[in-house]
Each structure stands twice: as C-alpha cells, then as structure tokens.
Amino acid sequence: MHFVQEDFSSDLLIRGYDDGEIRVGGQSYNRSIILTHQRIIDDWRPQNKGELEAGDFELIRTLDVEIMLLGTGSVLSFPSPALTAPLLEAGIGVEVMDTAAACRTFNVLLAEGRPVAAALLLG
C-alpha cells in the first residue's frame, strides 16, 4: 500500500507499508519499529504481537508523546490490557489497530503537529 500526502513533507512521514516492510522517508525497514514525531527507533525487540511484553513499552513512557498507536500487523489484535496499562497510567493514550491503519493515522497526526508515537509490528 502506498501513501502520498501532497501538502506535507517530513523525513518521518510513512511513505508506504506492505507486509514485511515499512517505508519512512527514503528508508525501508524490514522489522518492527517505533516511530515518533521526532525520531525513528529501529531496534524495537518484538516482531509480532505474540512477542509483546510490558517492558516493550517502557521506552514510550520516556518519550514526549500524548498518544501511542499500536499497529499489530496485518490483522487487528488487541494485546492484554496489562501490557498497555503503564502507558495509560502515565497519561499516554493508546490506540490499537492493524499496522496499515496505524501508518495512515500516524501520518495524519504528524501532519497536524501532534506529539505521537507509532509502535509498528510487521508480523
């Protein structure tokens, strides 16, 4: 799936997503990443929803974000509420969706100048 935004440009804009690849700016990533309105974290440990652990979201608590979008791969799949509870307790909203929807939503929020993070699983 290819994404195009005519009136907004950023090196952090998601340009495309296919199963197994996310294209951000001019770079392609073949593993799960965390993307924020300020940077790319390309060494996020889990590669699919089944590998998620509470510690996987600790980094997000340290970032200056108001909302985290969790892309769960090609299929929407909600994680255990215990995994995301620390984010909610820290005042960070959590939205869960499939990764394609999370990519599109991230681009919209980025274009609006919102402090957002997207934790994007490929598998």
CATH number at residue 112: 3.40.1230.10
Give a yes or no: residue 71 inside a domain.
yes
Within a domain: 94: yes
**Amino acid 10: pLDDT:** 83
Please state the domain count of the chain. Answer: 1
Instruction: Please list the rounded mean pLDDT of every run of 10 residues in the chain (123 residues).
Output: 56 92 95 96 94 94 96 95 95 97 97 96 87
Q: Are 27 and 42 in contact (CB under 8 A)?
A: no
Measured distance CA(44)–CA(114) in Å, rounded: 22
C-alpha count within 13 angstroms, C-beta hemisphere, residue 93: 7
Range of the domain at 96: 14-121
For residue 8, is it within any domain?
Answer: no
pTM, full prediction: 0.91
Q: How far apart are CA 48 and CA 50, in angstroms?
A: 5
Say which DSSP state 31 is in: S
34's tokens: 């965390």
